Structure 1
Amino acid sequence: MPPNWTILQEDLVAINLAAESKKEAICELSKLLQKKGYVRESFPQAVADREEHFPTGLPTSLYGVAIPHTDSHHVLRTGIAVGILKNPTEFTVMGTTDQIVQVEVVLLLAIQDPSGHIQVLQQLMEVFQLPEALRQLKSAKSKKEVVQALTEHLSLERP
């Protein structure tokens, strides 16, 4: 990836996000991406549809995380919207159809380059295995702290 690949920005972070369902969480985070010109109008529905067939909920050592995403043709430029949920929301566990995980952090991926998609997912999976990184994310009091926590643990540059 180019060294100036900047995908983590404070204006794509929502702390204390009130979402009663996974679809609502996806919709609210999609609005952040749409407002800043990262994704097409088709993005929120495409992500919600994909989540129904290919769930992205991940139980971690501390709390559930979800990494919803969709095909690159719904994306105008690469970015990640991060939602720290006010209350846990049910997502289906990745690779299952019937296991539920209570998710507290959602990272909505808008990846333009399909080959970059795998790299981002791999790095995020590594971060989710670090209890300290998970604690930093969940306890963040500001958007800046969320971006710093992720930037510290990912090989992604920040603007």
Structure 2
Amino acid sequence: MSAVDIDLFKPELVFFDFEAKDRAEFFQKLAVELSTRGYIKDTWLDAIVQREREYPTGLACQAMSVAIPHTDPEHLQKPYIAVIKPQHPITFEAMAHMGDDVSAELIVNLGLLAHADEQVAVLQALMGMFMDEAASREILEQTTPEGMVEVMCRRCQA
């Protein structure tokens, strides 16, 4: 999975027990976290909400359900990958509007400055990792930001 730049995973961008009652509140709270750390521009929130509406990112895998929201590079200050394990699953529409809504247990927000082809390669690499039951189990077992970064980096290189 060499398509993923593992340097983009950082402990400061791993959030556990992230509290949000729905997707809208999730994006609002994540915007605060990312803005405070200098990763996004003021346009990010509206852009990611709009993109998620048009191109939903929920993915129901066998081992866990995830969402991989992202938006266009012009809404970013610098590249990042944020990993969020919400306090309670957050409902996302199924990717490509196919199937039922997904109760995401893990959300990986991509802030990539890459071209569309590179972004697709990263999405495919992450989806492959989430479809691997052992990888999914190991990811869900993590309790520290450092542990999550280590597992995500190692699994992305596998």
- What TM-score do you get using the length of structure 1 for normalisation? 0.88
Q: Matches of residues 46-61 of structure 1 in structure 2 within 5 Å?
A: 46-61=47-62
1:145 is aligned with what amino acid?
Answer: G
SS at match of 1:95: helix
Q: Note the C-alpha offset of 1:155.
A: 3.5
Q: Matches of residues 80-159 of structure 1 in structure 2 within 5 Å?
A: 80-96=81-97, 99-114=100-115, 115-155=117-157
- Over 3 Å counting, the alpha-carbon distance change for 1:45 and 1:98 in structure 2 is farther
Q: Note the C-alpha offset of 1:97.
A: 6.6
Q: Note the C-alpha offset of 1:132.
A: 1.4
- Over 3 Å counting, the alpha-carbon distance change for 1:97 and 1:27 in structure 2 is farther
Q: Give the conservation status (yes or no) of the 8 Å contact 1:64–1:105.
A: yes
Partner of 1:22: 23
Q: Give the conservation status (yes or no) of the 8 Å contact 1:11–1:32.
A: no
Partner of 1:62: 63
- Give the number of equivalent residue pairs: 156
Q: Note the C-alpha offset of 1:48.
A: 1.0
1:82 is aligned with what amino acid?
Answer: V
1:59 is aligned with what amino acid?
Answer: A
**Matched residues in 1 for 2:108 and 2:34: separation?**
12
Q: Note the C-alpha offset of 1:112.
A: 1.0
Query: Once superposed, what is the RMSD of the aligned Cα atoms?
Result: 2.3
- Over 3 Å counting, the alpha-carbon distance change for 1:78 and 1:155 in structure 2 is farther
Structure 1, unaligned stretches of length 5 or more?
none
2:138 is aligned with what amino acid?
Answer: Q
**Matched residues in 2 for 1:137 and 1:31: separation?**
25
**Matched residues in 2 for 1:131 and 1:23: separation?**
29
SS at match of 1:26: helix
Q: Which deviations, in whole Å up to 9, do the C-alpha atoms of 1:9-53 show, x marking residues without a partner?
A: 000010011111112222323333222222111112211111111
Once superposed, which parts of structure 1, at least 4 consecutive aligned residues long, lie more than 4 Å away? none
Structure 2, unaligned stretches of length 5 or more?
none
Q: Which deviations, in whole Å up to 9, do the C-alpha atoms of 1:102-135 show, x marking residues without a partner?
A: 1110111111122431221121011111111111
Q: Give the conservation status (yes or no) of the 8 Å contact 2:64–2:130.
A: no
- What TM-score do you get using the length of structure 2 for normalisation? 0.89
